[in-house]
Structure 1
Amino acid sequence: MGLTSNKTLVLAVLSAVLLFAGTVWLWPRLARRSWRAVGGRIGLLLGTQLALFAAVGLAANQAFGFYASWADLFGQEKDQGVVVDHTPGGGPLEVVGSRRVPGAGGALPRAGGRVQEVGIVGRTTRIATPAYVYLPPEYFQPRYRTHRFPTAVVLTGYPGTASALVEKLHYPRTALELARDGRAKPMILVMMRPTVTPPRDTECVDIPGGPQTESFFAKDLPDALRSHYRVAEKAGGLGIIGNSTGGYCALKIALHHPDVYAAGAGLSAYYKAPIDATTGDLFQGDKALRNRADLWWYLAHMPAPDTSLLVSSSRRGETNYRDTLRFIERVKDTGRTGISSIVLESGGHNFNTWRREIPAALEWMSERLTEPLK
């Protein structure tokens, strides 16, 4: 039986109920002080707790889609995502610390690249947030000392931590390996949370009377990066990618600001900002602002931007699968905005799934960022 099968869930619930009833029924017989009685009590209590834990875990997994199969749960899903192109015809920035790229080997940055921990302060929004910046080996090599590199902003989900992009999703290591294999250009990666004013989930919205999160990503962040690093100066050299909430933000910001971001990739993204306890009232009754944050409404009512989008999902395990297919068709109908996709056969809303999609997504991003090595 599959992990997400109703039969599996029913079996787990029945097991928990039967073990609980058995514990109550057999407890008087196990009330003696012998080792056998004590062992029986321990076994019944442990079995009941494990069955209850399994039932609750299976129910939560069905509700939220964390894992699609037993192989997904135990990290055994290894098939890599493949991009399908649906397009017709084909401020101040302070460096806090730095370290080697995990798993890259080599002590010198010109051999393995470097990850710097930085603090970014928006010049106009005054938003301050931490980030990690991956600089490829070429950044430190003398022959490229005047070269500006294509750059991708990388966003986590909510609540997320920027360090997970380095340590769990392996973005720097993947970018390094792709460049070494000639599958992607050497790129700078700027890895951070979309939640720049925690604990509030701002959904990358300019909130009336609150944090101007979209403006931070659209204006302050690119300005800060260009003032401190040799990032691409043209719009064609900057992209944005994220998973879950970060994926929604990446798609929205690429759609709203094609003059800044040439491409946006949403892994396991959704397409409309939620309103819940973590977000509060994002729009303060402003209907125009709410519509603008709704990607369905935006594509139907606003001029199609000249940018490229990538979306991902799984046929089994992701709750956004049908919405993703609809989104692809909606973008194709614009006739101007490019759209590509990664669709796995199986994969839940988790790190293992995104690790399988990230290599293809970065390769896709590299193809759409025009700043070449000279």
Structure 2
Amino acid sequence: MGLSSPVTQGVAIGVACAALVAIVVGWRLLARRGVLALLGRAASLIAVNLTVLVAVFLVVNSEFGLYSDWDDLLGTRSAQSATTTTTSGGDTGGTTTVSDPKAEQIAGYDGRVFRAQVPGPASGVTGTVLVMLPAGYGTKPAPAGGYPVVEAFHGYPGTPQQWLDAMDVQPAVDGAVTSRQIVPPILVFPDLEIPAGRDTECVNGGPGEPQLETWMSKDVPDWVESHYQAARTAASWATMGLSMGGWCANQLTMLHPDRFGATISFGGYFTPNFGSWTPFALDSPAGQRLDLVTLAKVSPPAVRVWAMASESDSLSWPSTSALAAAAHGPLQVTLVTQQQGGHRTSIWAGFVPQALEWLGENLQGFAPTSA
């Protein structure tokens, strides 16, 4: 039986119910005095709780795809990956530096991470972002034209802190800079759950709803450029995301190639996956606009995509593999295929250095020779 199969879940739930019934029926026998009876009661309670926890884990794992199969869960088979790349057929503006008196420094992270509230003149949205500055920012000369920028998006449920902790992005970036694989970048981590708790899929809602796509593609970049020594061309701006954030990164780059030149997706997807909040039907004009696989076939944008997905990941693999197959013209896709593995940060974090090296090789503003 598969780890995520309904049969496995049904058996686990049945065992948990049977264990509960057994302890209720047999409690009178366990209620006697003595050490053996005491140990029996303790063992029975532990057994019931374990069966319940196993059942809950299997249901949650089936919903979120944390582990793909028994080998993945038990670690009995090493994960393998394969990388394939499709073939495909400037100048930087000035920069400004404006200190933000409302930015709050986050403890740790070498004093390089700040939290700020970013207003949205275009979107009407005000949201929280974390900003990670390059080592030596403000004390060393900036690259010609300004620092390149990566706008990185967390998963759902999640927070911007996922990138700093679970994905361990700071040492990965510093390592890539030290080995001269990329120019030191500014990283920006917006909070995607606006309002709190909503799986927004980073889209513009209807009238009266937050306009997340506009906030992240227009307002956040404008704010970064006005407050930091940031470059101002698409060749120096990239997106990066995990799971739902991977979808956000893919969406923003492919729909706004004038702003972003590349996207990095860890377990992301290329068609929206709405939950309880559905702002529009997928077959509506607004929904069809977000079908990035069709966009790749009909009107491929001149951007580059690095996408990692596991063949056993039912959330990310179908649309990711479809996009790789559809890519042509100016759209270039590098697909990193995990032969086995679930949908979780413990797998993706190890591939951040590879993705950053790819970024330095594929987007001009991140190439060390451009510094």
Report the equivalent of 2:254.
Answer: 255
Which ranges of structure 2 fall in alignment gaps of 5 or more residues?
A: 90-97
Report the equivalent of 2:164.
Answer: 166
Over the aligned positions, Cα root-mean-square deviation in angstroms equals 3.2
Could you say what secondary structure the match of 1:270 adopts?
coil
Displacement over 6 Å in runs of 4+: 5-8, 74-82
1:244 and 1:83 map into 2 onto residues whose CA distance is 19
Report deviation, 1:367: 2.5
Could you say what secondary structure the match of 1:255 adopts?
helix
Question: Is the 1:139–1:145 Cα contact (8 Å) retained in structure 2?
Answer: no
Mark the CA change 1:266 to 1:140 in structure 2 (over 3 Å): closer, same or farther. same
Could you say what secondary structure the match of 2:184 adopts?
coil
One-letter amino acid of the structure 2 residue matched with residue 40 of structure 1: G
Mark the CA change 1:242 to 1:137 in structure 2 (over 3 Å): closer, same or farther. same
1:291-335 Cα offsets, whole Å, 9 max, x none, are 10222343344x22111112211134554323322221022xx32
Whether 1:44 and 2:51 are equivalent positions in the alignment is: no
1:200 and 1:217 map into 2 onto residues whose CA distance is 16
2:77 and 2:194 map into 1 onto residues whose CA distance is 32
Report the equivalent of 1:217.
Answer: 216
1:24-61 Cα offsets, whole Å, 9 max, x none, are 45333223132321321221122022112112312331
1:218 and 1:254 map into 2 onto residues whose CA distance is 9
Percent pairwise identity: 28
Report the equivalent of 1:179.
Answer: 177
Report deviation, 1:240: 0.5
Could you say what secondary structure the match of 1:32 adopts?
coil
Mark the CA change 1:145 to 1:266 in structure 2 (over 3 Å): closer, same or farther. closer
Which ranges of structure 1 fall in alignment gaps of 5 or more residues?
A: none
Higher mean Cα deviation, 6-15 or 47-56? 6-15
From 150, 154, 157, give the equivalent of 2:155: 157
Please show how residues 91-102 of structure 1 align to structure 2 within 5 Å.
95-99=102-106, 102=109
Report deviation, 1:192: 2.0
TM-score normalised to structure 2 length? 0.84
From 273, 295, 315, give the equivalent of 2:292: 295
Could you say what secondary structure the match of 1:139 adopts?
coil
Mark the CA change 1:94 to 1:291 in structure 2 (over 3 Å): closer, same or farther. farther
Question: Is the 1:235–1:260 Cα contact (8 Å) retained in structure 2?
Answer: yes
Report the equivalent of 1:347.
Answer: 341
1:242-275 Cα offsets, whole Å, 9 max, x none, are 1111111111111111111001122111222234
Question: Is the 2:113–2:132 Cα contact (8 Å) retained in structure 1?
Answer: yes
Question: Is the 2:79–2:341 Cα contact (8 Å) retained in structure 1?
Answer: no
Whether 1:357 and 2:356 are equivalent positions in the alignment is: no
Number of residue equivalences? 359
1:307 and 1:166 map into 2 onto residues whose CA distance is 26
Please show how residues 134-145 of structure 1 align to structure 2 within 5 Å.
134-144=132-142
1:312-359 Cα offsets, whole Å, 9 max, x none, are 11134554323322221022xx32211111222332111202212222
One-letter amino acid of the structure 2 residue matched with residue 29 of structure 1: L
Report deviation, 1:96: 2.0
2:145 and 2:242 map into 1 onto residues whose CA distance is 30
1:111-170 Cα offsets, whole Å, 9 max, x none, are xxx222222112222311111111112533434376511111000012311122112211
Could you say what secondary structure the match of 1:199 adopts?
coil
